[in-house]
Amino acid sequence: MKMPILETRKEVMSEIIRSYTGGREGAATRLGMKLKKFDNHAYESAGCSPLSDAHIYMLEQDCGTHHFPNYVASMYGGLFVAVADPETLDNVELYARSVQVSAKRGCVDQAIAKALEDGSISEDEAELILNAHNLHMAARHAEVLAAIDLYRAKSGKAQ
């Protein structure tokens, strides 16, 4: 799964809107805004302030993306890791997370192999590799946290 490298808030908003069912119109309706007002806030045009973090969160919850927290975390040199809901964790979910980690590791390895086809790694290729690596590490960290949550000793039970 190829994730775009989002460097500006406007890029983040564009990607969220692209991911949202119904696009701009659907997102505007969800937030109770007329389309023109939504566009002005989403793209910070006509002197309008950006959508609030709560609005962005609402849209991302609906479409299941994490573009905004990934963007903010990357501004600080970090990465976003979604924490699993312990109530929905089971061995099947843990296996699915493991498969995702392996797939993301494969993306890192493929990016490195492709970059090395000409014998060197350019700045753009390095950025692509590091972005894929961050996604891999975030998935791995989430997998580890999920395993701990699933198998954590419950208080009052024999260990």
Condensed to tens digits (0 to 9), the pLDDT of residues 125-134 reads: 999 999 899 8
Give the pLDDT band of residue 88 (cuts 50, 70, 90).
Answer: confident
What is the reported pTM? 0.70
User: Does residue 155 register a pLDDT over 70?
Assistant: no
Q: Is residue 61 part of a domain?
A: yes
On whether the CB atoms of residues 131 and 110 are closer than 8 A, the answer is no
| Average pLDDT of the segment spanning 114-133 | 95
State whether 54 and 20 are in the same domain.
yes
Tell me, yes or no, whether 50 lies in a domain.
Answer: yes
Taking 70 as the threshold, does the pLDDT of residue 19 lie above it?
yes
Q: Is residue 105 one of the residues assigned to a domain? A: yes
Count of domains for the chain: 2
Largest CA distance in the chain: 63
> For residues 116 and 61, is the Cβ–Cβ distance under 8 A?
no
pLDDT of 4 reads 59
Distance of CA 98 to the CA centre of its chain: 17
pLDDT tens by residue, 1-16: 455 568 899 999 999 9
- Of 75, 106, 122, which one is at a domain's C-terminal end? 75
Over residues 92-99, mean pLDDT: 92
Query: What pLDDT score was predicted for residue 154?
Result: 66
Residues 46, 93 share a domain? no
Whether 67 maps to a domain, the answer reads yes
Question: What average pLDDT does the segment 112-125 reach?
Answer: 96
Check whether residue 38 and residue 59 sit in a common domain. Answer: yes
Residues 63 and 100 both lie in one domain: no
**Do 43 and 91 reside in the same domain of the chain?**
no
Same domain, 138 and 105: yes
Question: Which residue range is the domain that position 118 belongs to?
Answer: 86-151
- The verdict on residue 110 lying in a domain is yes
Q: Do 110 and 55 belong to one domain?
A: no
Q: Give a yes or no: residue 111 inside a domain.
A: yes
DSSP letter string, 48-104: PPPPPHHHHHHHHHHHT--HHHHHHHHHTT----PPP-GGG--HHHHHHHHHHHHHH
Residue 3 lies in a domain: no
- 116 burial type by CB count under 10 A (0-12 exposed, 13-18 middle, 19+ buried): exposed
Rounded to an integer, what distance in angstroms lies between the CA atom of residue 107 and that of residue 128?
Answer: 10
On whether the CB atoms of residues 12 and 6 are closer than 8 A, the answer is yes
